[in-house]
Amino acid sequence: MTPGVSCCTRAGYMCTIEASMTDYRTDQDQNITTQQAMTGLPTLTESSIVPKRSIAGRALVAVIAIMSFLASLTTGAVLLVRSAAIDWQSDVAREITIQVRPTPGGDLEAEVARAVEIARAFPGIGEIRPYSKEESARLLEPWLGGGLALDELPVPRMIVVKLASSDGIDLAPLRKILTERVTGASLDDHHAWIERMRAMARTTILGGVGLLILMLAATVLSVIFATRGAMAANRPIIEVLHFIGAKNGFIANQFQRHFLVLGLEGGMIGGGLAMLLFSAANIAAGMSVGTAGGDQLAALFGAFALGIGGYVAIIVQIALIAVVTASSSRWTVDRTLEAVG
């Protein structure tokens, strides 16, 4: 303790020093903020070196939204076709057809009755429905027209047989018995038709996957060009950050977060519109039940109902588009900074 200096004097002296230091720190903060504003560095009120809203950003959101909408439509259409194909295959696989052709001097009605009796006694057979002569003739009207006299034509008789279960059964013994005991009888298990439906479903699914890959590639290219444009527009800021020692990872993270938000925004817009469209189509299909067009569409695509799985697939696709957008942006920034560095 210094002799002759009172406590009040020392306290006043310390308060004066602290006030001077506070004024100095305030001046220094103001100078740093001014220098940052002059050099283009992000100030304390800015959280990213990439502009949040710009014409290029809005254009990229629109592109991603369009691609997401088209991709979601493709995904939904593929799921609908796949579901309809599975239903068709299940229905056709549970049904076989016995055809009895008329023969000279033979009793067609007796042969049909014998075929029905043999089929009903075979294990695994459920419902049996023989077509009458008039019903068999009506089956030919789409090709021959109506009002024709078919008495002189050897029109075969059809017997529709439904299996008791969807599990496959060996129909070879039934085919052999019918051939041996019923004149002019043949059995068709629709195997060729099922294979054609499977091939159609596989082709549709592969085509949809190909379209999704093309749309994803177009989205990636759009993000790459947008990222390069954003880097070119913010080149002074990036150069200053390099000058003061900022690492490439910091700059890449800024761009990645920015484009992740853009990807989510565009994906939610496009995917949301697609989900609304499928919901509206489902409601419209339900309202058109009983009409010719509605029944035909229901036979081809079902009720246009994606189900929970379909909507979850579209949501996952939206998240995938956002991740691809952010990853493409980061990859572009890393490659560009490595080339510059």
pLDDT at 49: 64
pLDDT at 85: 80
Return the SS3 of 93: helix
Token pair belonging to 192 = 């060729």
Backbone dihedral angles phi then psi of residue 235, each to the nearest 5 degrees: -60, -45
Distance (Å, whole) CA 321 – CA 216: 8
pLDDT at 43: 42
pLDDT tens profile 159-176: 888 887 766 678 888 888
SS (H, E, C) 218-273: HHHHHHHHHHHHHHHHCHHHHHHHHHCCCCHHHHHHHHHHHHHHHHHHHHHHHHHH
pLDDT at 31: 44
User: Which whole-number Å values give the CA distances from 294 to 32, 241, 291, 328, in the listed order?
Assistant: 70, 63, 5, 44
pLDDT tens profile 90-128: 777 788 888 888 888 778 888 888 998 988 888 888 888
Distance (Å, whole) CA 259 – CA 226: 9
DSSP conformation class of 156: P
Token pair belonging to 217 = 């590639």
- Between 248-287 and 191-233, two packed helices, what is the crossing angle to 10 degrees? 140
pLDDT at 264: 92
Token pair belonging to 77 = 């259409």
Distance (Å, whole) CA 134 – CA 139: 9
Q: Report mean pLDDT in 10-residue bins for the chain, 341 residues.
A: 42 41 44 40 47 72 92 89 80 84 83 89 86 79 67 79 77 87 86 82 88 90 85 76 77 84 92 92 74 62 75 92 90 79 59
